[in-house]
Structure 1
Amino acid sequence: MKYTIIEGQHLKEMLLNGAYELEKNKEMVNSLNVFPVPDGDTGTNMSATMLSAAEEIKKIKDTSIQAVADAAAMGSLMGARGNSGVILSQILRGFSKQLKTKTSLTTKDFAMALKEGANTAYRAVMKPTEGTILTVARESADKAIEIAKSEVDFLNFMKKVYDHAIKTLNKTPEMLSVLKQAGVVDAGGKGLVVIYSGILKWLQGEIISLGNIEDKKDLAKPNFDKIEEIEDIKFGYCTEFFIKSSTPYFEGFKEKISDYGDSIVVVGMENLIKVHIHTNHPGIVLEEAVKLGELSKIKIDNMKEQHRTIIESEDDNVSNNDFSNQKEEEKEFGIITVAAGDGLTSIFKDLGVDIVIEGGQTMNPSTQNILEAINSINAKNIFVLPNNGNIVMAAQQAKDVSTKNVIVIPTKSIPQGITAVISFNPDLNAKDNEEEMLRAISKVKTGQITYAVRDTVFNDVDIKEGNILGILNGKLIKSGEDINKITKEVLDEMVDENSELITIFFGNGLEENDTEEIQNYINEKFSHCDVSFNYGGQPLYYYIISVE
């Protein structure tokens, strides 16, 4: 079928096709991750982000262009995982913004939306790197604008855009030496090309379905304590709705409804505002909201009734899927961190962390996961420690949509996270604590011992699948066949005469007697340092090493 005009229902189906095409090809995208460690997850993160957009799109009954684009932007915003997922959500946000006044689309409209998507993504990244998804988004959008000047048929238009996106993707190794050395194209860029492929397939008449793929359990969930008493639920009605408004979103609305409840989330996107609140007076909240514009998709759930059902069915998992209720008076500080491994979770809890979100390597929590944790803590100031460079952007995005005072400390490893928590001083104010945490993490060296998932060359190190890898401060420095040998070599690089403390967390699958050789080596060679060996229980990494 020939399309010269795209309606809202068409756009809905195109985006769903793109999301499902990525889901089916996510492992292929994962395989392109330059770092040959078992936590390469660009495809997984981008797919989770797009599936979140797809779920939001499927919920809406209004299939106008604006409604579909806004739903995609909203879903991807809250479901964004990892840096690639956050960037993808920003592309969809810009795409939606450009289409806010459109009732149907020409190829020129679509091209301009792609361009605004690329521009929005570039603005969201502090230091954009060429040779990544950003480059593919920008160059394919520029080409789309050029093509649309003479091509009105969407199928021909999208074929040419897709071809140019592949051409740009194939140039990414020339832009980033690490890609060239590893012999791969950029994974994020490939993910975007796969989405384009799904859109193109829809135009060709191929409808993609996920078939009988089961919904996957969300592993990156906050570890909330189960609410045992119905009386603990202070505000009984979980109220959600959208406001379609021509009035710009403003902070005064948040402040006004804050008098009527808690667990407030107000996400504003141009002419659409999504509101979530726990309240005893949903009618009053709706009366305040209707002053701003037309309301849609109103949902009010009786949480006490839901709680009785949960208790009766003895389902311990359901309560983790909602915003937790604040049961105590507001305190000055709260701390959220991310970790994988029962030992690491216990260590953070013992250090006073309020919530440990299960995740990290391979399980990057979404913006929504982090926001749920933020809203579950009744504190004036909340510190978020991502403990992974691929989670920092999602944490920052959660901060941006939160109504609370959130401080993201950009910890990129477990050792940095633990050091940040230890340096926290409840007698200092939020600003001074932030400065102290940043100062403390800058002095931490992080070592990691893991294994390679494929043959490659990285940083001039020849790597074979199954090799033991030694990583220092995020850089791969050693490769070999013996865990103890590689661990010793990494320690030798990390420890110097100024080092005072060595802390090692051994992972899931290692017993304490497996670590004796490493313990003896450290005690003999680095006798000037205090040494601490701890069970971390982390997956994928035999050892995580901290040197200060």
Structure 2
Amino acid sequence: MELEYSSIKEVHILAGQQKKVIDGLYLKNMFISGANNLENNKELVNSLNVFPVPDGDTGTNMSLTMNSAIKEINNAKDDNVFTIAELAANGSLMGARGNSGVILSQILRGFAKALKKEMQINSKTLANALMEGSKTAYKAVMRPTEGTILTVIRESAEHGIKIADKTTDLSCFLEEVVNQANRTLDKTPDMLPVLKQANVVDAGGKGLVNIFNGMLFYLNTNRIIQVTDKTTQIETIDEITKSETEDIEFGYCTEFFIKGKSMNHEFFKNSITSMGDSLIVVGDENLIKVHIHTNSPGLVLEKAIELGRLSSIKIDNMREQHRETLIHDEDKLSCKKKIGIVAVAVGSGITSIFKDLGADEVIEGGQTMNPSTEDILSSINKVNADDIIILPNNGNIILAAKQVKYLTSKNILVAQTKTIPQGVAAIMAVDQDRTLSENELKIQHAINDVKTGLITYAVRNSNFNGVDIEEGNIIGLIENEIESVGSDITEVVNKAMDLMVDEDSSLITLYYGDEVDPKEAEILFKDIKEKYCDCDVELHFGGQQLYYYIISVE
């Protein structure tokens, strides 16, 4: 059950005890309470989907992102304010899923940046941290859209700055911030017509309000909200470090964190460059993450310990791993590729198609199951290539994929593929003899030449563009717009096809989902082939959930 503002106000009156400053341990517990409140309300946030289709995942993405942050702060060796804030930022970045998760991670990144060197938090420092979080989040988005989580954090932070000097009690201050967050959230349908049409508020903004509510609850009561669903689990993709070539020059994959003060990570990076390859050194003056392939892990660690304390040390013998890999995966081990390809796909059939077309790694994910930045990074590390093309194949995964650029030394191109058909067109356009920038142009041309249709079902009653939609209706989306509605799958597919196919169309591809009878798919395929005799028509088992058919027209 969600904590509404009215119930929080009652708690504040009962508590009645002013708090003018809090320390890092208090902040840690506020974060945990906020994350738990979001977890308890994630399905409510998921339900705030613009379209009445079963693919709402904002609540899940934000909750998994926050859970990743909590996992990091629970491992904190000390509880000072900046350590807690910085660990939350680092954890959320690695666990960021979907656009909402990435934006949330950037809010936490800015929040931590503003708390650098702070030992305690008062109203002014909290207001500044929220404002820096807002600014950092806006910078992370190429074209910020008002009426989203961005507006909620910005107006909340601006209100916090305005009242910080005269509201020294942190409970009163945060209550005012939460009040403003709710007011802004209620206005989001007036800022985004698509929200008003769907009669919902912004899902990302609602998720942020849930976090704020949970934090305020702890601030008022000294009690952490508990997760009501004990079965919640975070699914991660195991990373297996593999050597890709038979002749491994540097045999130990060495990873660790350095924690210290005023550390120069560029100086440290230069000092160990000659000790190996595949070197990644990222972080700031207080926390550095190091990855290196070396024959002398001891020397690397000796150099690192001069800077600060070492933690999470992981050393793998890649030659031993390589021998095991050769036994089980000889065919996959090949010479180094010029360009590696990592694709995101959902459904066993679609996964197989991407592998057949040359994808080196296929990450299971898509609508309602967005991979995290760490998942994508893990797959990139398995590919034996310096240049990598990522095919997100979902608009909600692109932002998380872009964060990988800052976490690897490899050259990354994130293709702007928002659908499976776009991803298939893109991978077929890749030319191993061309540069990444040349391939980017080829991929974009391929994306522009394909239309995508999705056939799914309505999960609630609604009205779009004057068309009444009832729960259970079959819906046809074309380029993410509802274009056909009916009671029969075949009927809606045919309506969608009529809108998608024109005189320039030459290829139609149908991918049928795991709930579709193959015999029915075959009948539909034959009908379409007969109707559009000037086009080549293909039928493939996709195995995807939620969507009866994914349609590609080129």
Is structure 2 residue 534 aligned with structure 1 residue 528?
Answer: yes
Deviation at 1:176, TM superposition (A): 0.8
Aligned partners of 2:110 and 2:133 also within 8 Å:
yes
1:218 to 211, 228, 235: 235
Single out whichever of 50-59 and 475-484 deviates more from structure 2: 475-484
After superposition, give the CA deviation of every residue in 1:150-198 in whole Å (9 maximum; x if it has no partner).
1111111111111111111111111111111111111000000000001
2:233 maps to a residue whose letter is: K
Tell me how far apart the structure 1 counterparts of residues 320 and 165 of structure 2 sit (CA, whole Å): 55
Single out whichever of 121-130 and 449-458 deviates more from structure 2: 449-458
Tell me how far apart the structure 2 counterparts of residues 327 and 262 of structure 1 sit (CA, whole Å): 19
Aligned partners of 2:156 and 2:177 also within 8 Å:
yes
Gaps of 5+ in 1: 320-325
Residue of structure 2 equivalent to 1:376: 382
Tell me how far apart the structure 2 counterparts of residues 367 and 344 of structure 1 sit (CA, whole Å): 22
1:114 to 104, 121, 130: 130
Tell me how far apart the structure 1 counterparts of residues 294 and 233 of structure 2 sit (CA, whole Å): 31
Tell me how far apart the structure 1 counterparts of residues 225 and 386 of structure 2 sit (CA, whole Å): 47
2:29 maps to a residue whose letter is: E
Aligned partners of 1:239 and 1:279 also within 8 Å:
no
Deviation at 1:247, TM superposition (A): 4.7
Is structure 2 residue 189 aligned with structure 1 residue 173?
Answer: yes
Aligned partners of 2:252 and 2:297 also within 8 Å:
no
Is structure 2 residue 88 aligned with structure 1 residue 72?
Answer: yes
Q: How has the CA–CA distance of structure 1 residues 442 and 254 changed in structure 2, closer, same or farther, with 3 Å as cutoff?
A: farther
Is structure 2 residue 314 aligned with structure 1 residue 284?
Answer: no
Residue of structure 2 equivalent to 1:207: 224
Tell me how far apart the structure 2 counterparts of residues 128 and 107 of structure 1 sit (CA, whole Å): 28
Residue of structure 1 equivalent to 2:158: 142
1:389 to 395, 400, 404: 395
Aligned partners of 1:235 and 1:262 also within 8 Å:
no
2:282 to 267, 277, 284: 267
Residue of structure 2 equivalent to 1:487: 493
Residue of structure 1 equivalent to 2:472: 466
1:393 maps to a residue whose letter is: L
2:141 maps to a residue whose letter is: V
| Alignment RMSD (CA, Å) | 2.8
Correspondence 1:79-158 to 2 at 5 A: 79-158=95-174
Deviation at 1:228, TM superposition (A): 13
Residue of structure 1 equivalent to 2:404: 398
Residue of structure 2 equivalent to 1:37: 53
Is structure 2 residue 306 aligned with structure 1 residue 300?
Answer: no
Residue of structure 1 equivalent to 2:454: 448
Aligned partners of 1:399 and 1:408 also within 8 Å:
no
Deviation at 1:288, TM superposition (A): 3.7
Tell me how far apart the structure 2 counterparts of residues 121 and 140 of structure 1 sit (CA, whole Å): 14
Aligned partners of 2:65 and 2:101 also within 8 Å:
yes
Tell me how far apart the structure 1 counterparts of residues 518 and 29 of structure 2 sit (CA, whole Å): 54
2:542 maps to a residue whose letter is: G
Q: How has the CA–CA distance of structure 1 residues 229 and 217 changed in structure 2, closer, same or farther, with 3 Å as cutoff?
A: farther
After superposition, give the CA deviation of every residue in 1:316-358 in whole Å (9 maximum; x if it has no partner).
9xx9xxxxxx965532110000001111111111111100000
2:168 maps to a residue whose letter is: V
Deviation at 1:462, TM superposition (A): 2.2
Deviation at 1:534, TM superposition (A): 0.7
TM-score by length of 2: 0.90
1:239 maps to a residue whose letter is: E
Aligned partners of 1:12 and 1:68 also within 8 Å:
yes
2:533 maps to a residue whose letter is: S
Tell me how far apart the structure 1 counterparts of residues 501 and 284 of structure 2 sit (CA, whole Å): 49
Tell me how far apart the structure 2 counterparts of residues 373 and 228 of structure 1 sit (CA, whole Å): 13
Tell me how far apart the structure 2 counterparts of residues 520 and 225 of structure 1 sit (CA, whole Å): 46
After superposition, give the CA deviation of every residue in 1:123-161 in whole Å (9 maximum; x if it has no partner).
111111111000000000011112211111111111111
Residue of structure 1 equivalent to 2:178: 162
Deviation at 1:35, TM superposition (A): 1.9
Aligned partners of 1:30 and 1:43 also within 8 Å:
yes
2:226 maps to a residue whose letter is: S
Aligned partners of 1:16 and 1:54 also within 8 Å:
yes
Tell me how far apart the structure 2 counterparts of residues 255 and 514 of structure 1 sit (CA, whole Å): 62
TM-score by length of 1: 0.91
Residue of structure 2 equivalent to 1:322: none
After superposition, give the CA deviation of every residue in 1:27-52 in whole Å (9 maximum; x if it has no partner).
11111121222111000000000000
* % identical equivalent positions: 51
Q: How has the CA–CA distance of structure 1 residues 513 and 438 changed in structure 2, closer, same or farther, with 3 Å as cutoff?
A: same
Q: SS of the counterpart of 1:204?
A: helix
After superposition, give the CA deviation of every residue in 1:88-121 in whole Å (9 maximum; x if it has no partner).
0000000000001211111100010000000100
Deviation at 1:273, TM superposition (A): 2.1
Is structure 2 residue 344 aligned with structure 1 residue 338?
Answer: yes
Aligned partners of 1:241 and 1:276 also within 8 Å:
no
After superposition, give the CA deviation of every residue in 1:508-533 in whole Å (9 maximum; x if it has no partner).
12232112342233222211111111
1:429 maps to a residue whose letter is: T
Q: How has the CA–CA distance of structure 1 residues 526 and 473 changed in structure 2, closer, same or farther, with 3 Å as cutoff?
A: same
Aligned partners of 1:222 and 1:356 also within 8 Å:
no
Q: SS of the counterpart of 1:59?
A: coil
Aligned partners of 2:304 and 2:310 also within 8 Å:
no
Tell me how far apart the structure 1 counterparts of residues 244 and 360 of structure 2 sit (CA, whole Å): 18
Is structure 2 residue 352 aligned with structure 1 residue 350?
Answer: no
Aligned partners of 2:32 and 2:224 also within 8 Å:
no
Tell me how far apart the structure 2 counterparts of residues 465 and 306 of structure 1 sit (CA, whole Å): 56
Residue of structure 1 equivalent to 2:203: 187
Runs of 4+ in structure 1 over 6 Å off: 222-234, 304-308
Aligned partners of 1:342 and 1:538 also within 8 Å:
yes
Q: How has the CA–CA distance of structure 1 residues 223 and 544 changed in structure 2, closer, same or farther, with 3 Å as cutoff?
A: farther
Q: How has the CA–CA distance of structure 1 residues 211 and 516 changed in structure 2, closer, same or farther, with 3 Å as cutoff?
A: closer
Single out whichever of 134-143 and 255-264 deviates more from structure 2: 255-264
Residue of structure 2 equivalent to 1:17: 33
Q: SS of the counterpart of 2:503?
A: coil
Is structure 2 residue 505 aligned with structure 1 residue 499?
Answer: yes
Gaps of 5+ in 2: 1-16
Aligned partners of 2:405 and 2:412 also within 8 Å:
yes
Q: SS of the counterpart of 2:74?
A: helix
Residue of structure 2 equivalent to 1:323: none
Tell me how far apart the structure 2 counterparts of residues 213 and 96 of structure 1 sit (CA, whole Å): 30
Deviation at 1:236, TM superposition (A): 3.7
Tell me how far apart the structure 2 counterparts of residues 163 and 156 of structure 1 sit (CA, whole Å): 10
Deviation at 1:224, TM superposition (A): 7.1
